Structure 1
């Protein structure tokens, strides 16, 4: 019988308690199916990594990045793992959550509704579609 991984559960709890302001602000928009009825969870384990937010039904990970993600943070390795395991990854900068939250939410909805399906890598947005399982 498979049970909860207590170590990962404790790590996720700790991460939820230390949310930064941008994550807390975005969570207020995503929680309780507030975004077009899509269910999100926060600080969920995806393999050895923890996603800031995830919509399990649509296999979408949403990451909120601060300045620590600019240089050598391991994001590429982490993104590759998630994508290879069927998760799409959507990354925003903290400043975008504060300055243009409506556009951030619209982008998330566009991915969830399959209106944005191609890879995007720009200065202010990264979207990598998950690999389809065969």
Structure 2
């Protein structure tokens, strides 16, 4: 249990130090603003802390900065996505630039992803 408490504390610290792109997207997702879906931010799933998740919709939204284009980060993202998918989640990735330059398009893509069955 002690390890789990440290993990939860780490998730809380991530919420307190979110990126500006995450903060902007959170404003659009919080309080059921996107098609009435309940999203959580910096939520632990297994050994990972995801940027955003709707548990009912089984959708994880990851906000990726430029470092995610590096080969080692691409490999980590693949492994992370495979794990989350094995837990029954669909994983979608939104770039920082999409959040800043095309928030409506990013939200539309997220909402469309929630309609999978």
Please report the TM-score for the alignment, with normalisation by the length of structure 1: 0.80
1:98 matches 2:100 = yes
Aligned pair count?
A: 113
Q: Specify the SS of the correspondent of 1:92.
A: strand
Deviation at 1:100, TM superposition (A): 0.3
Deviation at 1:18, TM superposition (A): 1.0
CA distance in 1, matches of 2:32, 2:7: 24
Structure 1 unpaired stretches of 5+ = 118-134
Which structure shows the higher helix fraction?
2
Please report the TM-score for the alignment, with normalisation by the length of structure 2: 0.91
Structure 2 unpaired stretches of 5+ = none
The counterpart of 2:110, out of the listed 108, 111, 125, is 108
Equivalent residue runs for 1:1-134 within 5 Å: 5-71=4-70, 72-73=72-73, 74-114=76-116
CA distance in 2, matches of 1:76, 1:108: 19
The runs of at least 4 aligned residues of structure 1 exceeding 6 Å deviation read none
